[in-house]
Amino acid sequence: MFSLTELMMFAGATVLGGVVSGFLAGVFGIGGGAVLVPMFYQILGMLQVDDSVRMHVAVGTSLAIIVPTSLRSFQAHYKRGAVDMSLLRSFLFPVPAGVVLASLTAAYISSEGLRIIFTVTMVVVGLRLLFNRESWRLGSTVPGGAARVLTGGLIGYFSTLMGIGGGIMNNTFMTLYGRPMHQAVATSSGVGVLIAVPGTLGYIWAGWGEPFLPPGSTGFVNWIGLALIIPIALVVTPLGVRVAHALSKRKLEVAFGLFALAVSLRFFISLF
């Protein structure tokens, strides 16, 4: 069990993380997971939670928190008419299918393996956005058919292993085919809902009966962190949405790129 001091430290850091993650959920359409996962990983480490489950609990709890923040972000973006509903509907089955496969993977992959996936993906995405050029396009039209189904499955799979809401990958996918960054961010909030709901259930299943879980956990989802962050994130997320629509396309891309590199650097250090 945690001591009173440890619980107070956990609560304080989690509340701060809720403010930051909720704001970024609105700005980048990422559900806040890219902030929450590293934050939970470090806090659980300070509380001496066993390394074999630390990353898994961080990812699972992040996915659970993304459920309401993504819904809130999606609602705000949808009211502005920024969401590509046609693309989102086409992801209705492929994305959750990828989530299910990732949940099965999470039951067997090591903590280090999850951290490596997180770090590598964030570096690639961050560099691509930071040094983005208009000529860096795979086409002018988002592909349909089997290519879109495969893309949706991969977005669901890797986002679930990283504990993020799919915004990082969906933003990259849409902008590589010439879609405006603002539309990509808005649509990503909907993708986050498709990932977070089945992903949360999957991580509860994957961690069921694990012996080293921290107090207040069901499987790899910690309800203490969830209860502290959700009320704060729901209030702060709409502020992030307003900021996203006030920024230019290039400023949004640069901000997102710098953020991704900063997070990846922090996680790379944790591997040693």
272 residues of the chain, pLDDT tens digit each? 567 777 777 777 778 777 877 777 667 656 567 777 877 887 888 778 898 999 999 999 989 988 887 888 888 888 888 899 999 999 999 999 999 999 999 989 998 898 898 888 888 878 877 887 766 677 778 888 899 999 999 999 999 998 887 777 888 888 888 888 788 888 988 998 999 999 999 999 999 999 899 888 999 999 988 888 888 877 887 787 788 777 776 777 787 788 778 878 877 877 77
CA-to-CA distance for 223 and 213, rounded, in angstroms?
Answer: 12
CA-to-CA distance for 135 and 132, rounded, in angstroms?
Answer: 8
Which pLDDT score is estimated for 182?
81
Give the CA angle between residues 90, 91, 97 to the nearest 5°. 135
Number of H helices, E strands in the chain: 11, 2
Which pLDDT score is estimated for 96?
96
Per the structure, how many domains does the chain have?
1
Which pLDDT score is estimated for 203?
95
Domain that holds residue 26: 4-270
* Percentages (nearest 5) of helix, strand, coil residues in the chain: 75, 0, 20
Which pLDDT score is estimated for 259?
78
Which pLDDT score is estimated for 1?
57
Which pLDDT score is estimated for 252?
73
Residues facing residue 217 across a β-bridge: 222
Q: Looking up tokens 């997180």, which residue turns up? A: 118
